[in-house]
Amino acid sequence: MNRQIDLRTLAEMQAPERAFLSLYLSGPAAWPALDKQLEKTAALLGDVPDEREYFTENAKQARKYLRQHPPAGPLCLFACWALDFFAADELPVAAPDLVWVDSSPYIRPLAEMRDEYETFAVVVADNEVARVFLVASAKTQDERRIKGEVKNHVRKGGWSQQRYERRRDKQLLLYAKEIAAALAELQRENAFHRLLLVGSRETLAEIERVLPADLREKLVGDKALDLHQADAVIEQELFTLFFAAERAEERSRWERIKEAYLRGGRGAVGAQDVLRAAQEGRAELVVVNRDAQLLGVRCREADHLSAGRPGACPQCGSPALFQVDLVNEITELLTTSGAEIDFVEPLPGLREVGDIAALLRW
């Protein structure tokens, strides 16, 4: 995702009552419907004068910005008149159209996007040429080409063939080392989380053999592939490999948390326990089903945050509450504490314990 807006900065922002407007726009065609939704939201806030004033001023800022900067593609926008804050950012992929009113920016869609579209490195190589590049926010960038021109095998037999094969093996080795060096340089300049290899089986095997240990640890998939196919076909194969690795890591993380919980150790399951761990800074890693709808409330009197839908604040007893998306609130807490959240494709076992679980620091 576009990193111009820093998630941690947004996560640390809190306003009085529901003074923040967050708006997600999938494209220019979505704006008329969202503009009407802004009007309806203002009407719904009529019984809370302060919040309606905040929202009215925020909506003015949003409309002014969109008039002056008509969006060409997906966009997110955050406005808080009470804190004199406004930010807008183009997005590489669309999030669902949304108008959200809360006491803080609604960063869940951005966190999901960052989680789903992690930066990864790719090598597309056969014996003739290699392409080494990054894929960030589902877009290719920083591509480097390396010529291989490794000769084909011959079948002449005898000493001449052996000499030829030795020269060929050395040529293949040097070629693979050059590719590995390009990956190492790419890693120094733009850290990536995963590495994928596709192309000629012989070339891929040699690259894997010479990869330094730190890069070998990032290797999550390789596949022999005919590189004479259309670029769109190769790209599809790459993303299939990437998402297969992503789903496998999601399952592995859930298993780690489950084992920690079953051993009575550093595991927490369910919204209430995970929220408490996040509030105390004890959560190291949280996994949550991507479609989870976890409710919470925030107290207008003392800003207390609670899971579920209590009739009064469990901490101070105030009945002045407003509903929040608990996943977003937990995401903010984890972002500010440097913990990690993984939005996973729905896992049945995770669903049975409330859609969310955490690995704890202590």
158 shares a domain with 86: no
Q: Under a CB-based contact definition with an 8 Å cutoff, are residues 96 and 26 in contact?
A: yes
Residue 344 lies in a domain: yes
**pLDDT class of 154 with cuts at 50, 70, 90:** very low
254 shares a domain with 151: no
pLDDT of 85 above 70: yes
Domain of residue 163, CATH code = 3.30.420.60
Q: Residue 96 CB: number of other CB atoms within 10 A?
A: 8
Residue length of the chain? 362
pLDDT of residue 159: 53
**pLDDT class of 3 with cuts at 50, 70, 90:** very low
Residue 244 lies in a domain: no
222 shares a domain with 159: yes
Residue 184 lies in a domain: yes
> In the chain, pLDDT over 90 holds for what percent of residues?
81
Structural domain count, the chain: 3
142 shares a domain with 63: no
293 shares a domain with 325: yes
pLDDT of residue 166: 82
d(CA 292, CA 272): 14
271 shares a domain with 255: yes
Residue 102 lies in a domain: yes
Q: Under a CB-based contact definition with an 8 Å cutoff, are residues 112 and 94 in contact?
A: no
Residue 177 lies in a domain: yes
pLDDT of residue 116: 87
354 shares a domain with 322: yes
pLDDT of residue 4: 55
**pLDDT class of 92 with cuts at 50, 70, 90:** confident
Q: Under a CB-based contact definition with an 8 Å cutoff, are residues 272 and 356 in contact?
A: no
Residue 203 lies in a domain: yes
Residue 16 gets which letter from DSSP?
Answer: S
What's the rounded mean pLDDT across residues 69-78?
Answer: 95
Domain of residue 286, CATH code = 3.30.1330.30
275-282 long-range CB contacts below 8 Å, 24 or more apart?
275/305, 275/306, 275/307, 275/326, 275/329, 275/330, 275/333, 277/358, 277/360, 278/330, 278/333, 278/334, 278/337, 278/339, 278/358, 279/305, 279/333, 281/337, 281/361, 282/360, 282/361, 282/362
339 shares a domain with 269: yes
Q: Under a CB-based contact definition with an 8 Å cutoff, are residues 290 and 112 in contact?
A: yes
pLDDT of residue 141: 80
Domain of residue 82, CATH code = 3.30.960.10
pLDDT of 132 above 60: yes
pLDDT of residue 152: 63
**Dihedral sign from CA coordinates of 165, 168, 172, 173:** positive
* Chosen domain end from 66, 86, 110: 110
Instruction: Give the H/E segment covering residue 146.
Output: strand 139-147
What's the rounded mean pLDDT across residues 253-273?
Answer: 95
87 shares a domain with 185: no
Q: 57: which 2 tokens?
A: 């001023």
Tell me which residue of 68, 45, 69 sits closest to 57, measured CA to CA: 45
* Mean pLDDT over each residue of the chain, to the nearest integer: 92
Tell me the three state secondary structure of residue 12. coil
Instruction: Please give the angle made by the CA atoms of 257, 344 and 237, to the nearest 5 degrees.
Output: 125
SS3 sequence of 226-256: CCCCCHHHHHHHHHHHHHHHHHHHHHHHHHH
100 shares a domain with 12: yes
- pLDDT tens-digit profile of 19-35? 999 999 999 999 999 99
301 shares a domain with 205: no
270 shares a domain with 203: no
Residue 32 lies in a domain: yes
Instruction: Please give the angle made by the CA atoms of 114, 195 and 332, to the nearest 5 degrees.
Output: 20
DSSP H helical ranges for the chain: 7-11, 31-44, 49-68, 108-116, 158-189, 201-210, 213-216, 231-262, 271-279, 326-337, 348-352
pLDDT of 282 above 80: yes
* Chosen domain end from 228, 260, 288: 228
d(CA 323, CA 231): 47
- pLDDT tens-digit profile of 325-351? 999 999 999 999 999 999 999 999 999
pLDDT of residue 209: 96
Q: Under a CB-based contact definition with an 8 Å cutoff, are residues 79 and 21 in contact?
A: yes
Residue 274 lies in a domain: yes
pLDDT of residue 1: 40
What's the rounded mean pLDDT across residues 178-191?
Answer: 94
247-255 long-range CB contacts below 8 Å, 24 or more apart?
247/345, 248/220, 249/220, 249/342, 250/287, 250/342, 250/344, 250/345, 250/347, 251/347, 253/285, 253/287, 253/342, 253/344, 253/359, 254/287, 254/344, 254/347, 254/349, 254/350, 254/357
**pLDDT class of 157 with cuts at 50, 70, 90:** low
pLDDT of residue 23: 98
Q: Residue 73 CB: number of other CB atoms within 10 A?
A: 13
* Chosen domain end from 54, 75, 110: 110
Q: Residue 90 CB: number of other CB atoms within 10 A?
A: 14
β-sheet with 305-307: strand ranges across? 305-307, 295-299, 321-325
Residue 66 sits in which domain range?
Answer: 1-110
